[in-house]
Chain A
Amino acid sequence: MSKCRSCRAPAVIDLPRHNANFCAEHLEQLCRRQFRRAVDDFEMFTTEDRILVAVSGGKDSLALWDLLVTEGYDAVGLYIGLGIGRYSDESHVIVDAFARDRDLELITVDLRADHGFDVPTAARVTDRVPCSSCGLSKRHIFDTAAREGGFDVVVTGHNLDDEAAVLFGNALRWDVEYLRRQAPVLPARHGFPRKAKPLVRLTEREMAAWCVIRGIDYVVEECPMAIGNRHHMYKEALAVVEATSPGSTAAFYLGFLERMAPLIAHDEDTDAPAPCRMCGSPSGAADAVCAFCRLADRAGAVQPVPVELVLGRGARRRYVEQWGASALMEGDGHGGS
């Protein structure tokens, strides 16, 4: 059996990108070191800041919340119920239990109850990929909750593989505006809170292992609406390279931050956006309605659409495999979290 690189105890994981194996104790040390390095190098936040951490119930966000509180940061969780059938129901239960077991403060916002729509219905009325209206809704709710709650920074569990996949997609299209904004920390600006991604130096395998060794229960199943999305395709492409050349993903993303991002950076000197006339959030032109309120208006005006009706054939099959046939057509879109 392989031994830990640090102490020669039996290893629990092999990490080819480090060309090493680690026991649980030294894997935890490695993760804490990489987390601290990201926070410090990119000046994300300090122990003086009030942090709002977005938690989905997946491995990354719960690992991040665990890291934050055990490293001495003041971090309150924010969970958004997206109304994605059993997946959302299970996510809510997991996040609630995580917070309760550790006596942590959790803010919950439910799209259907609080804003009159859910992600499957939004996907249907916009006729766009579900991740589009999901991302728009989450960003709006993160920003609003941070502003109303007086938080200094919003942090999310995007990991190294997530960021590398986004970078890969942006580079394929040479989308310079998106490349410019792909930073691990974005400063507060025009009413939007500071945003940070403290897991950018850690892979998703490392985060999953963190949850196992720390005894964190998380939703292992994939979001049914994200199955087969473009982000997955980019991850698969990078995984092929990583398998034959371990460390390539980290070199690609961290090398971009170090050597390419400074070359394309420029100061954005735009005017402050006018407030949305519906919700007051920073929006755009004077007397305009923000994209979130427009979405809520459209999706809230139709009957709720159950998640299975907006899944492709493959994703629907996976959804039944994961949650059972009883998950089909059980929801009317009102009960999801």
Chain B
Amino acid sequence: MRGGRVAHRVLEDLGLAPAGHLIIRNGTLVPSDTMLDDDDVIEIRPVVSGG
């Protein structure tokens, strides 16, 4: 997807709750107000487990 957007907006567009996910950009953990670039490789990692 295109960059130029803040990470939490990307999560919202995907219907994902920021509190339930980590954002890892190019292998590094970043906060949800991070601006994402076109060339970034983003991993959105869920954190909820079933207990």
Using a CB–CB distance below 8 Å, which chain A residues touch chain B? 1-2, 11-14, 16, 21, 24, 58-60, 131, 158, 161-162, 165-166, 204-205, 207-209, 212-213, 220, 222-223, 226-227, 229, 231-232, 235, 239, 242-243
Contacts and interface: CB of A to CB of B under 8 A. Distances in A.
11 contacts: A58-B49, A161-B48, A208-B45, A209-B22, A212-B45, A213-B29, A226-B49, A226-B50, A226-B51, A231-B51, A235-B48
Contacts of A229: 50-51
A103 B46 CA distance: 29
Contact of A208 (B28, B47, B51): B47
Contacts of A223: 49-50
Contacts of B3: none
Interface string B1-39: 000000000000000010111101000111111110000
Given A239-B17, A243-B19, A165 B51 contact: yes
Interface of B: 17, 19-22, 24, 28-35, 45-51
Contacts of A21: 31
A134 to B, nearest CB: 10
B25 to A, nearest CB: 10
B24 A212 contact: yes
Contact of A60 (B21, B45, B46, B49): B49
Nearest to B31: A14
Nearest to B27: A212
Nearest to A226: B50
Contacts of B47: 59, 204-205, 207-208
A222 B49 contact: yes
Nearest to A17: B19
A166 to B, nearest CB: 7
B29 to A, nearest CB: 4
A162 to B, nearest CB: 5
B34 A1 contact: yes
Given A239-B20, A242-B19, A162 B30 contact: no
A95 to B, nearest CB: 15
Given A12-B31, A24-B29, A158 B51 contact: yes
Contacts of A162: 49, 51
A2 B31 contact: yes
Nearest to B34: A1
A273 to B, nearest CB: 26
A126 B35 CA distance: 51
A13 B29 contact: yes
A106 to B, nearest CB: 21
Which of B17, B19, B22, B49 has most chain A Cβ within 10 Å?
B49
Which of A205, A231, A235, A243 has most chain B Cβ within 10 Å?
A205
B29 A212 contact: yes
A202 to B, nearest CB: 12
Contact of A205 (B19, B24, B28, B51): B19
A336 B50 CA distance: 20
